[in-house]
Structure 1
Amino acid sequence: MRDYPDACNVANTSGSLVNDTINTVLDIYQLFEAAVKSHSTILFYLDFISPFSYLANVKLPELAARYRAELVYLPLDVMRAKLAIGNFAPSTRAMPGKRNFILRDRLWWAQQHGVSMQTPPAFSAPRLNAGMLYAQECGCVRNYVDTAFHHVWGLGGDPDDDELLAAVVRQTGLDPEAYFSYVNAVETRERVAAIAGDAASRGVFGVPTMIVGDEMFWGNDRLDFLEECLESNTQETNDVS
């Protein structure tokens, strides 16, 4: 697992678009509207069951820091995202030919990035995904995301297993009782659903997806294009100033 000197996400620093808490669905929509107007904010939609979200997360925080971009982590159930745009095709796991290729492909990517890649025994992470919002409130969302991905794809753990969630909570320094209360709350499910609804309205159809302004990038193999966008935005800002 990678170590970071700063456990807290850059999105929680002073003056960021992300509030210390996202208490209502309205807060979520206000955050999105502000982010879309900014060319120095990256909306990062991810699902802990996605190996390519895991791979994107290896490089994305460093990329955001390089261009002084604010990185906003957003939970998005990949199956919900597919259905929302009318994609009723079976999952990759149900198609042997594609499944075998994707397995090799993600292992190649993991080797290139120097990280472990172990297939988890299950593919459902509603509570682990929702916990991103709680970690954001507590100011440690980057550490939470890194730790959760390590347990799911680095070690091959079940993303909805109570013991795995407890380990992530403990290693992130969160309060266990408050965490489990949060991820099981009806209000939290409403917030996650609001994020999914807004994502669909912006044309998001899968994970990982990164949005900067009105530009959308899908897949861990689109980070080069994302960097070009950030570099261009930085140059435009410098030219204006």
Structure 2
Amino acid sequence: MPDPIDFYFDFASPYGYFASLRIDELAANHGRTVTWRPILLGAVFKVTGMKPNLEQPLRGEYLTHDVGRIARLTGAPFTFPDSAPVNGVAASRAFYWLSDDHPEQAKLLARALFHAHFGEGQDIGPAGAVAEIAAKTLGSLGIDRAAVTTALQDPVVKDRLRTEVDDAVDRGVFGSPFVIVDGEPFWGWDRLDMVDRWLATGGW
């Protein structure tokens, strides 16, 4: 079996959200699986020297226009959150708490967090909000608020997120979404069509 496709994203990224709605189906069409890897662009920006798009003149205004246009194009639920750019630390920690032993549950949680934030405009920065969404999404599987709240403060979980961010930087990841297919990097939601073609042809 070929290696999984690596899908890097920040929960604060609307482009990461749009990519999350498509990446698994795209990969499955080519017999591939996807490893989801949330990261923190704030830590990456310390390396690149950049600032969040929303904090940059001109680029921030373009982003707010562009993501609405993408939502209309794709039919994706979208409400620009007042809390943008959100701090994705709690959301990312919750994901990695689940991912090793329960990767599909972790993906379910990531999708629910993305939908809450960009589909409904909720603030998913606070630990309490993440715990509530996790309990609502995975409660039938035995995940409750208390377990999530405890996990978010677990040093092992904190270290895991730091390691994932460091590893991402080492692999050249600098934005969200960022997809790596057999060592080949693709940055941006608008590169998914290229990823699709790369998988179909074996590259060029």
TM-score band (shorter)? Answer: 0.7 to 0.9
The answer to whether structure 1 residue 228 and structure 2 residue 193 are counterparts is no
Aligned residue type for 2:52: S
Greater mean alpha carbon deviation, residues 210-219 or residues 157-166: 157-166
For structure 1, which segment, 91-100 or 62-71, has the greater mean C-alpha deviation from structure 2 after superposition? 91-100
Assess if the C-alpha contact under 8 Å between 1:52 and 1:208 holds in 2: yes
Q: Supply the distance in 2 between the matched residues of 1:110 and 1:83 (Cα, whole angstroms).
A: 30
Quote how far apart the aligned CAs of 1:39 are: 4.1
Greater Rg by CA: 1
Q: Is 1:111 matched up with 2:111?
A: no
Q: What residue is the counterpart of 2:121 in the other structure?
A: 156
How do 1:1-241 and structure 2 match up within 5 A?
A: 39-84=2-47, 87-122=48-83, 123-136=86-99, 137-138=101-102, 139-173=104-138, 174-233=143-202
**In 1, Cα distance between the equivalents of 2:81 and 2:93?**
19
- In structure 2, the residue corresponding to 1:140 is in which secondary structure? helix
Give the deviation of 1:40 after TM superposition: 4.2
**1:225/1:114 Cα in 2 relative to 1: closer, same or farther (>3 Å)?**
same
3-state DSSP class of the match of 2:199? helix
AA at the equivalent of 1:229: W
Shift of residue 163, structure 1, vs aligned partner: 4.5
| Secondary structure of the structure 2 residue equivalent to 1:81 | helix
User: 1:49 touches 1:125 (CA, 8 Å); kept in 2?
Assistant: yes
| Counterpart-to-counterpart distance in 2, 1:91 and 1:228 | 30
Aligned equivalents of 2:162 and 2:25: distance in 1? Answer: 29
Tell me if structure 2 keeps the 8 A contact 1:49–1:159: no
Unaligned runs of 5+ in 2: none
Q: Aligned-pair distance for 1:232?
A: 2.6
Letter in 1 for 2:193: D
How far, CA to CA, are the matches of 1:166 and 1:131 in structure 2? 8
Q: State the 1:43 CA deviation.
A: 0.6
Of 197-206 and 170-179, the range deviating more from structure 2:
170-179
Determine helix, strand or coil for the equivalent of 2:21.
helix
Query: In 1, Cα distance between the equivalents of 2:50 and 2:171?
Result: 21
TM-score (norm 1): 0.75
Classify the secondary structure of the residue corresponding to 1:224: helix
Which runs of 5 or more structure 1 residues have no equivalent in the other structure?
A: 1-37, 236-241
RMSD over aligned Cα, in angstroms? 1.8
Shift of 1:175: 2.9
Runs of 4+ more than 3 Å apart: none
Equivalent residue letter for 1:71? V
| Per-residue Cα deviation, 1:136-176 (whole angstroms, up to 9, x for no partner) | 23341221111110101111111213453133212321232
Identity %: 25
Stretch of structure 1 that moved more, 195-204 or 114-123: 114-123
